[in-house]
Structure 1
């Protein structure tokens, strides 16, 4: 934890302490910068697959930003005390749905995607409300394993960004790595050697430094800022909603996988930022809010939300959990959705800058998973559970097409073949139920 010398600085490390906007804004901005590209990217991918026009693409991105802000606010200020976790977290558009959305969008059209998404969101609400009865399936050893796999699966995302963003024309160029490493060095140095509130803003300073270096190297394109509109409201029901049974079944499975990730990262942020396990009420409320926003997202023609691992990692590094910081972050995301020029400015940050600033964050997430399941000591049973869950999860994800052969329905590969988190969760839950229990090791 950073050295603090004033009551306000100390309040940053408590959820309800009094913090002025001047102190909170820089800390909120680094959360926004870490999440922004990831929020707009799933929307861009789905828009491309479905053949959207430029106006339709802008609309789905705009709605994704607005609903990310809404879900983030719900997590800080639970509605009716039941819809929202009350935990410090940033929500954003979910990549988990992208493969399924691509498959359904190509075969059945975007209208079927929205119908299935509405059903999936309501299914998640039911799952969240019934969570107390399902809690026995997710003890610390299972949740710690899931969190570890989340961190592990995010590391390639950071490396691909450092190399320029997979699919980009200059992917892997030396210039990308120069910018990424420079960003990482600034982030690492400030986070480990600075003092006071300056230390807490290491990621923001890293991104700003990387942006300047990238601009000097001619890697920043601001042309989109000039052509973007100043203000726009999201459109409700921009498309007809169609309910296809096959699509609803596929998205229903993906929705449960998505909410397991939410549960894992809420547990991670509670463990890393608050030094305690998340309560059943917090996990249930967080999942209910995610499901409700996912259903509403269908009405606005955009992507469901999920917790963001990179932001969990920021909390794990700087321990700032005050809800003023996350409320401001949500308002900035809302501004991005309502002010397209502002959104265009944020999306101009090059991928190597984002990758260099977040790779350390992802590593921290994985280690928090280790801390969670090792807190009470590891038995041989726990080691077996974790090892097999990680082996199956990472192994299947890295073996492209391993679940796409003859005899497998297409949805199996869509849900499990591309997600180490989904596979590891299923394996960990099953092993926790079937492995004989034994005494924990004393050390």
Structure 2
């Protein structure tokens, strides 16, 4: 995106109404329900535990978003459950329990905070995560999420034809709103800044004609509920699990940094070393606090870059608004169910556009790098590793040793590692470089 097309810059203040409106839009598009919904299905939780689990996740994500956007990174980033960690989460909980997962997250998040506090992460980024790798990570995230969009629609209960129709209508509406939103008039601005919400609302109305909208949970849900501290019991500290999550959390940070750099490419903002280390501290602190209330590993959602492509509103106050809404929802089951009634096909229809936007954001961020054989190999190897890992059957992954098995259950994690290793192993020549690197805040 051309930074001159930015409507609202990162430090530009918004009114409370605007902050909540833009924040609500990002919250819907990022679909913070998705992470807990996936794990609820995997762990076969009952309705009561599932509702509590969703509340924990929203509280953790809301607090982490406010911390990042308000005090540390100070960018329009939405903190959500990191998909790069799902394989390890499932393996740990199935093999032990949630208390063991929480213990590992508490220790690994403090490790991340320490790296940021002593300004070590920025040094690691300069050596291991140049702009080419950061952009490739975003490409990997986009590619890994795309098949999830299609397979999730296929696996939805009900009539597959109806589900694809609803998703397709929502997808098409958002696409139309994006294109019309480029018109330089008031109508265009209205469609641009609210296109995601408009598409979701109309898509939900369409879904209601197929009987896919159930308002009853809103009426039966309570208005207020206080989340519990350590809902899974006192944390357990198991050395092997902690070691696994030290690696997993570092990979999750790489995913976040790629998101930050992608946002700067679109907004014309910058992430210098000091800001990067603050962001690392903020992310680690967000995971630590979230773990106290039973939250899951959190990262800066790449999905939000797709929203920013549509709205061009980069104000961090929009992210703060999203965080406030998420926290409010965590304390109010009725508000959570208000978003939860949005049918899954509608969400996946929006997510299709978001995946495309994430992928293209990554491609745009590496455009400045020469298309040399070496650079092409770095990007291509990461993409191959991501797709290949996603296609590996569990019969193979399950027999891999410990930490290797955890990692190969997360295609994004393997893609990130492949990008870093390829960048280090394949010698870089003068014609592979650019004069300025986005990892230096450009």
TM-score normalised to structure 1 length: 0.88
| Structure 2 residue 232 is matched with structure 1 residue 245 | no
Partner of residue 179, structure 2: 192
Q: Which has the higher contact order (CA 8 A, sep 6+)?
A: 2
Equivalent positions of 1:57-96 (< 5 A) are: 57-78=50-71, 84-96=72-84
Distance 1:68 1:432, change over 3 A: same
| Structure 2 residue 415 is matched with structure 1 residue 424 | yes
Instruction: Quote how far apart the aligned CAs of 1:400 are.
Output: 2.5
Partner of residue 231, structure 1: 224
**Which SS does the other structure have where 2:56 is aligned?**
helix
More moved, 56-65 vs 240-249? 56-65
Instruction: Quote how far apart the aligned CAs of 1:350 are.
Output: 0.8
Instruction: Quote how far apart the aligned CAs of 1:219 are.
Output: 0.7
Partner of residue 22, structure 2: 27
Instruction: Quote how far apart the aligned CAs of 1:208 are.
Output: 0.6
Unaligned runs of 5+ in 1: 5-9, 79-83
Q: 1:131 aligns with which of 121, 126, 136?
A: 121
**Which SS does the other structure have where 2:335 is aligned?**
helix
Distance 1:106 1:11, change over 3 A: closer
Unaligned runs of 5+ in 2: 182-187, 435-442
CA distance in 2, matches of 1:287, 1:262: 9
**Which SS does the other structure have where 1:440 is aligned?**
helix
Instruction: Quote how far apart the aligned CAs of 1:358 are.
Output: 2.4
More moved, 305-314 vs 48-57? 48-57
TM-score normalised to structure 2 length: 0.88
Equivalent positions of 1:148-163 (< 5 A) are: 148-161=139-152, 163=153
CA distance in 1, matches of 2:411, 2:34: 20
Partner of residue 11, structure 2: 16
Residue correspondences, number: 423
CA distance in 2, matches of 1:390, 1:45: 24
Instruction: Quote how far apart the aligned CAs of 1:441 are.
Output: 6.9
String of CA shifts for 1:164-192, please: whole Å, max 9, x gaps. Answer: 6x3x323x711011111111111111111
Instruction: Quote how far apart the aligned CAs of 1:346 are.
Output: 0.5
CA distance in 2, matches of 1:403, 1:385: 26
CA distance in 2, matches of 1:346, 1:65: 12
CA distance in 2, matches of 1:253, 1:430: 15
Decide whether the 8 Å contact of 1:184 with 1:356 is kept in 2: yes
Q: 1:257 aligns with which of 251, 274, 280?
A: 251
Partner of residue 366, structure 2: 373
Moved over 6 A (4+): none
**Which SS does the other structure have where 1:306 is aligned?**
strand
Distance 1:294 1:404, change over 3 A: same
Distance 1:45 1:25, change over 3 A: closer
**Which SS does the other structure have where 1:247 is aligned?**
helix
| Structure 2 residue 398 is matched with structure 1 residue 414 | no
Instruction: Quote how far apart the aligned CAs of 1:207 are.
Output: 0.5
Distance 1:429 1:11, change over 3 A: closer
Partner of residue 133, structure 2: 142
Distance 1:276 1:224, change over 3 A: same
Instruction: Quote how far apart the aligned CAs of 1:45 are.
Output: 4.6
**Which SS does the other structure have where 2:366 is aligned?**
helix
String of CA shifts for 1:11-64, please: whole Å, max 9, x gaps. Answer: 94212224334444433222121123xx23433454565565544433332121
String of CA shifts for 1:115-138, please: whole Å, max 9, x gaps. Answer: 112112112223334112212211
Partner of residue 81, structure 1: none
More moved, 23-32 vs 361-370? 23-32
Decide whether the 8 Å contact of 2:87 with 2:410 is kept in 1: no
Partner of residue 397, structure 1: 390
**Which SS does the other structure have where 2:83 is aligned?**
coil
Decide whether the 8 Å contact of 1:72 with 1:89 is kept in 2: yes
